[in-house]
Structure 1
Amino acid sequence: MSRDVETQPRTYQHGPDSVPHDGIPRGRIERFTWDASGIYPGTTRTVQVFVPAQYDPAEPAALMVFQDGGLYLDPGLDMRAGTVFDNLIAEGAMPVTIGVFVDPGQPGNRNAEYDPADSRYGEFLLHEILPAVRERFGLAITDDPDQRAICGGSSGGNCAFTVAWEHPDAFRRVLAFVASFAQIPGGNPYPSLIRSTPAKPLRVFLQANRFDLNHDEAELNWYSNNLLVDAALAERGYDHRLVLGDGGHSPNHGGVILPDALRWLWRP
């Protein structure tokens, strides 16, 4: 008996949580340019801040930070995070959450910021970007690390994990799509680090694609490195989830499952 075997990346279709609906309150988006970095001098970047319609300054909101921020907010691309936030907050599936969408530094500083497995980018968020967000817009954002999440894809995905790993006192929920653990300078340290380090209070959602970069190679295999990280999390008893797709190195599958990923990440 024959069966169909997928040999090429597939494309997934978005569900109803990724499209706007009448009667759902819509958040607003504020923007500013950050070009005063002391941690990444000489760079400039756009920062966009999503403020839910339900935001009440008397109640500090939850926080979620996104790397490659513009890709997540653009309603014509795969992630559509603003629309998903609107729908899930109205449903009560996630808390009232301020989204901070940070673009990589220009010119050409993305990999220098996202790929190293160190504390630098987390310090950049904590000491530069988040204070600027609070100061410019007067937003009440919680300091409770259990109500603060960080998300990214590709190099932004391993960056999200690194930020939470280095700063669990500030971020404890991680969402990483097709993370580029394979290209961390010096090699992927996390499988061994996770196994050898006392467990940290993190909740981690990983998404990987079967046809990711070098998926059938022994070296620099994006797919297998995500599996290795997830296996180490499982062995150490972390609150974690891995969802596999049949896509390539693309945000498509991650964007389609973003609503359910956020439901899992923000569950009580």
Structure 2
Amino acid sequence: MTVRIPYFPLPIDQSDVTYEHGPYSVRHDDVQPGITSEFVLNDSEIYPGTERTVWVHRPADSSAAPLPVMIFQDGWWYLDPADGVRGAIVLDNLIHAGAIPPMIGVFVDPGVFPDIDDPRRRKNRNAEYDVFDGRYATFLLDEVLPRVHEIAPTIDNPTGRGLCGGSSGGNCGVTAAWHRPDAFSKVIALVSSFAQIPGGNPYPELLRATARKPLRIFLQENHRDIGWNEPEDNWFAENLRTAAALAEAAYDFRLVLGEGPHLGNQGGVLLPDALRWLWRD
């Protein structure tokens, strides 16, 4: 079936663009809101000394049966109904419409060191999200999901687990799935900070040299991301290189390019479409 897309003129100024949200990103009177619970995780063995809040959002009519799960990094920013992503609202609307299966949304904040006052040293976000190793995947599997399971049982199967994040949270999702494809098979990565991984972006080379893994990846990037016209530390170029390597390795992936700088506006607007594509079967 041919999909007809209405004509829309491209903006000349690519640095100051705002995308408007669609119908799945706003509350509807006929959609019963899901139930959101929260807990504080302050006893991590993988990230000692950190503290974070985790929110668990389950459908209003969910049963006790295990459900698929989408895990969102930078939890509150993705959950906040007044901000740009509105993850719980999107999940409620898509589930109500039958566009995705009923699932649990888990929104995980990055860790902070509560006893440190310096705002830069207090945050553990980059240490968790930007490193190229399997620690964060292990953290989710061993320390977060068991607590989530006490509130809402989730499927213990990689095809029933997805990851979503933006900026450093975007490459965090790709890295977690890359190291543990036996646990996670679906990723939404928005304006990802591949260029910020210590030692450089490993994915273009790895994707060409490694047998294809059972991953489905949705990438979104902005034309005016950080260093977009620089020879080094070019976040736009590193997203393009990663996407090209995914294409050459025949991955199930999708790349959407938008206007604007390193902001989450288009990624937030695209979340309903990204989820529909990610869970299309």
**TM superposition score category, shorter chain reference:** over 0.9
- Identify the residue that residue 19 of structure 2 maps to in structure 1: 12
Q: Is the 8 A contact 1:54 1:96 kept in 2?
A: no
Distance 2:29 2:276 in 1: 21
> Residue 229 of structure 2: SS of its match in structure 1?
coil
- 2:131 is aligned to 116
Does residue 175 in structure 1 map to residue 188 in structure 2? Answer: yes
Q: 2:30 aligns with which of 17, 23, 33?
A: 23
CA RMSD of aligned residues (A): 1.1
CA-to-aligned-CA distance 1:84-141 (integer Å, 9 cap, x gap): 0010000111111101100000031000000001001111111111112223x2x221
Paired with 1:16 and 1:4, the residues of 2 have a C-alpha distance of: 23
| Other-structure match for 1:74 | 80
CA distance in 2, matches of 1:144, 1:94: 17
CA separation of 1:184 and 1:53: change in aligned 2, threshold 3 A? same
Q: Deviations over 1:7-36 (max 9, x none)?
A: 423111111110000111210110111000
Task: Check 1:130–1:15 CA distance in 2 against 1; reply closer, same or farther (3 A cut).
Answer: same
In structure 1, C-alpha distance between the alignment counterparts of 2:100 and 2:131, rounded to whole Å = 30
| Partner of residue 65 from structure 1, selected from 35, 47, 71 | 71
Off by >4 Å, runs of 4+ in structure 1:
none
Q: Secondary structure at the match of 2:56?
A: strand
Report if the CA contact (8 A) 2:38-2:56 is conserved.
yes
1:85 is matched by which residue type in structure 2? L
Shift of 1:6: 2.1
Q: How does 1:55-204 map to 2 (within 5 A)?
A: 55-57=62-64, 59-106=65-112, 107-135=122-150, 137=151, 139-204=152-217
Aligned partner (choices 235, 241, 245) of residue 232 of structure 1 = 245
| Unpaired segments ≥5 residues, structure 2 | 1-9, 113-121
Q: 1:155 to 1:4 in 2, by over 3 A?
A: closer
- Equivalences, count: 263
- Equivalent position SS for 1:90: helix
Gaps of 5+ in 1: none
TM-score between both structures, scaled by the size of structure 2: 0.92
1:247 Cα shift? 1.8
Sequence identity percentage: 56
TM-score by length of 1: 0.96
